[in-house]
Structure 1
Amino acid sequence: MLHITFASKNRLLPKLEVQDLSNSEENVTGPSHSPEPSHLSFFEKIQSAILHTFESLENRNFRLLWFGMVFSMWGIQMQMVARGILVYDLTGDYTITGFVGMGFAPSLLVVSLFGGVLGDRMERRSIIQTAQLVNGLLAGVVGILIFLDVVVWQHLFVVSMIQGAMFAFMMPARQAAIPSLVKKHQLANAFALNAMAMSIMSLVAPAMAGYVYQFIGAEVVYFVICAVMVSAVVFTSMVPKMYPSDRSIKDSVVRNMLAGFRYIGRNKVLLQLMIYSVIVALLAMPFRMLVPAYAKDVYRSAGSEVGILLTATGLGALVGSIAIANLREGHHRGWVLIGGAIIAGLSLALISGFPVFLAGVIAMVGTGIGEQARWALGQSVMMENSADEYRSRVMSVLMMTYGLMPLGMYPLGWSMEKFGAQQAVGIIAVLLIGFAVLAVFLLPNLRRIK
């Protein structure tokens, strides 16, 4: 039985003291859903809602891992903005900007499967720390190249590829470790808070990167990125070592990979979630890689305005992740997944139809909400339906969707050059909405998820 005591009644987020962190049978069945006392004041109800949203942070080790995620995503989000603006400033070319922005994709496609196997066989904290440290040091190298005025877009492409490989090792290990750090009924909440860490940083970091880039200098952005990514290593080091399940099969790497694919193929929920996630990601994600170039061309935006657009995406993602953090088993989560794709498609249609900066900001909020439905909720459902010895491999296959981004990004970049940016984005919007409608009928296990 879980007993929680509040250390202070005057704090918005009281300190939680957990007397029992074991995954007992009672905890596995989920929390009790007793009605909220009617005598609670308005502020006490707000406090209760906040505690409900952040309940998995009561677990110390997950909390430390979460803060490591915050700092790691702070650096990654700043780098996405700075790299996109820098490449376009160096080349003035849509295709090269998208090419460098998607430089991590080949690494993710190739390395993800190896990362999944390693995450199911090796100690996971060490994998996460190594990836965080390498990414931070590479950002520092880019800062030095800019400071010496010798940077070219090829440097940024190589760094993007290496960082993509590190991400491919880190993410399966980190996501697969989460179920061991929280109670089973908190799993959906934990994944939503993990996504919220990304959302918070995508809300703050892009505007920060755009402002620093425009008014201080590109090299300073990269030095800040280096510092915050190294800080992530510090938080992760305070988490105890996280070993995979003893049931993990220590077979050859190739056989482990094939076993992961067979496991997904036998599980109809996982299989249909994978199909849905891949197609929606191929349609929705590439535009985000080209937002800096689109904003400069259509809105005539400066660096700080590009940051505002991406911050709007972060705001939408934050709203979406908070909503998802409050979903539990029994809610119609399958319909939320499908609705996310419809929201993303309608948002892209707004961007295409109204070449006004304010409309773009509003639409980017919508894309952020839609993305969280696919990413945060999708991950949670996948982990709930995966055995522990397969979780890293399941996540690695999901990570491969990012490696497939060039299949969507290159046609989009070419179409923007050939037919115009607005027309190309409009086509993507129609395809995305159309697929979401078809998914209702063609992926029945998806819509039945509760």
Structure 2
Amino acid sequence: MNTLDPRKASPLTLGLRILSSLKNPSYRLYLVATIAHFAAMSMQIFTSPLLIYRLTGSKALLGTMSLVSAAPMILISIFGGAIADRLPKKKILIAGLIGSAIVSVFIGLSLSTGLLNRENPSSWWILFASSAVQGIILGLMMPALQAIIPEIVSRDQLMNAIALNTTGMNVLQLLAPGIAGPVIDRFNFHAVYFTMTALYIVAAAFILFISTKKQIIAAGSKIMADIQQGFQYIRKDSLILLILAFTLIATVLSMPYQQLLPVFYDDILKIGATGGGLLMMVSGFGALTGSLILAALPNKKRGAILLFSGIVSGIALVIFSFSSYLYLSLVFIFFLGLGQTFRMTIGSALLQAYAQGAYMGRVMSILNIQWGFMSLATFFAGIIAERVDVQWVLGSLAMLLIALSLVFIFFSSNIRKVD
């Protein structure tokens, strides 16, 4: 494939390159569906931790809610990958989105009827139960959501398609918290959950009309044997194994801050839900900037960029963790969003470019396990934060991320040299 150097390309040529995947009508439908899905998820990522913290005031319960979703996500993702390799991915996605809509409308009704409220201190179990169900749903559908992309676009369009998809996700990360925060302050939490319900239904409707150019279905009769073969394939392919290892480590060490942000909103920066929405918007703007850069870049030195994203995220998180000044926090949460987008987009693109098609769902399911382990790390971070200042907890994780990223840079030439 001929690639353009962004430094030499005209603005028009560069813009056409960034939007090249949109020529595919099925990809356009997929993109709208994922934007609606990510809008709902962005609202949930912002709203659920704040709701549990407002209900209980407990940092430990903030972390525990992550654990509740982590356990099913880790276990179910393995099966979700094997299922995605055996069944039509569209059906898996539609079922998962409808399931998410049911969970969201249940929480909305619980809030609006008073079943879930601060005056009923034990009602937080409803959020825990819904978090567990949502973990199961995500474990089943997320491998299919990623593995379906090669069935829609050609191999040389994968990086662009994934980057555009990440751009859409980041636009919503930019906008959704900025909408959810004021909605919470003005109308309360139930309005956000009803909005999420509508977005999930919209996403399912658009997935329904996608036409795939091919269906990559793995042969086999026993799902446990498929799972075992998937692990054997990953173990034998050193590049795939190292990319998965790095993305897992970087996610586990850099992402727990998101669940603990309500402590910063209410106790450290003292900015409330609306100010918290502003923080998340700036993080989303950093992520959007990163995804637009990646959509324009040619497929060169992607492995090196992936590894250096760990350094960027680590440094940004160290400074953000210890900052008690809003403007300083805004600057470095921007770079947090930037580094995380580089990691997520490039990691996913490399796996989908270099993994064999028949194993794609299982490879992507292992990638998605990172979110379960991130939730597990958030649980322990929340427990420790009850006794140790939360700023030191997150800052220590960030320092460890910097150290391990340097280890990969110096000792993992397999990743560093890959395009």
Letter in 2 for 1:429: A
> What are the residue-to-residue correspondences of 1:10-159 with 2, within 5 Å?
30-31=1-2, 33=4, 45-151=10-116, 152-159=123-130
Matches of 1:111 and 1:49, distance apart in 2: 41
Higher relative helix content: 2
- Which has the higher relative contact order, 1 or 2, with Cα contacts under 8 A spaced 6 or more apart? 2
Matches of 2:365 and 2:214, distance apart in 1: 17
> What are the residue-to-residue correspondences of 1:342-357 with 2, within 5 Å?
342-357=311-326
Letter in 1 for 2:261: V
Letter in 1 for 2:176: A
Distance verdict in 2 for CA 1:162–1:283, change over 3 Å: same
Distance verdict in 2 for CA 1:244–1:37, change over 3 Å: closer
| Deviation, structure 1 residue 446 | 1.2
| Deviation, structure 1 residue 242 | 7.4
Post-superposition Cα deviations, 1:27-50, rounded to whole Å, max 9, x if no partner, equal xxx246599999xxxxxx333222
User: Is the 2:70–2:376 Cα contact (8 Å) retained in structure 1?
Assistant: no
Matched with 1:415 is 384
- Residue in structure 2 matching 1:295, options 265, 274, 281: 265
Distance verdict in 2 for CA 1:97–1:34, change over 3 Å: closer
Letter in 1 for 2:271: S
Matches of 1:243 and 1:124, distance apart in 2: 11
Query: Considering only CA atoms, is the larger Rg found in Structure 1 or Structure 2?
Result: 1
User: Is the 2:82–2:362 Cα contact (8 Å) retained in structure 1?
Assistant: yes
Partner of 1:249, secondary structure, is: coil
Matched with 1:197 is 168
Post-superposition Cα deviations, 1:309-329, rounded to whole Å, max 9, x if no partner, equal 111221111111111112333
> What are the residue-to-residue correspondences of 1:150-189 with 2, within 5 Å?
150-151=115-116, 152-189=123-160
Of 280-289 and 233-242, more deviation after overlay is shown by 233-242
Post-superposition Cα deviations, 1:117-174, rounded to whole Å, max 9, x if no partner, equal 1110101101111111110121111111000111122111111111122112222112
User: Is the 1:345–1:429 Cα contact (8 Å) retained in structure 2?
Assistant: yes
Distance verdict in 2 for CA 1:168–1:31, change over 3 Å: farther
Matches of 1:48 and 1:142, distance apart in 2: 47
TM-score by length of 2: 0.94
Instruction: Give the share of equivalent positions with the same residue, in percent.
Output: 27
**Matched pairs, number:** 413
Matches of 1:88 and 1:123, distance apart in 2: 39
Matched with 2:358 is 389
Partner of 1:235, secondary structure, is: helix
Matched with 1:371 is 340
User: Is the 2:240–2:354 Cα contact (8 Å) retained in structure 1?
Assistant: yes
Matches of 2:266 and 2:52, distance apart in 1: 13
- Residue in structure 2 matching 1:284, options 254, 258, 262: 254
Residues 1:362 and 2:362 are matched in the alignment: no
User: Is the 1:102–1:289 Cα contact (8 Å) retained in structure 2?
Assistant: no
User: Is the 1:206–1:308 Cα contact (8 Å) retained in structure 2?
Assistant: yes
Matches of 1:297 and 1:35, distance apart in 2: 44
Matches of 1:102 and 1:310, distance apart in 2: 22
* CA RMSD across the alignment: 1.8
Distance verdict in 2 for CA 1:47–1:145, change over 3 Å: same
Matched with 1:433 is 402
Structure 1 unaligned segments of length 5 or more: list them.
1-29, 39-44
Partner of 1:120, secondary structure, is: helix
Distance verdict in 2 for CA 1:35–1:106, change over 3 Å: closer
| Deviation, structure 1 residue 294 | 2.7
Structure 2 unaligned segments of length 5 or more: list them.
117-122
Post-superposition Cα deviations, 1:341-368, rounded to whole Å, max 9, x if no partner, equal 1111111111133211111121111111
Matches of 1:253 and 1:137, distance apart in 2: 28
Matches of 1:298 and 1:33, distance apart in 2: 46
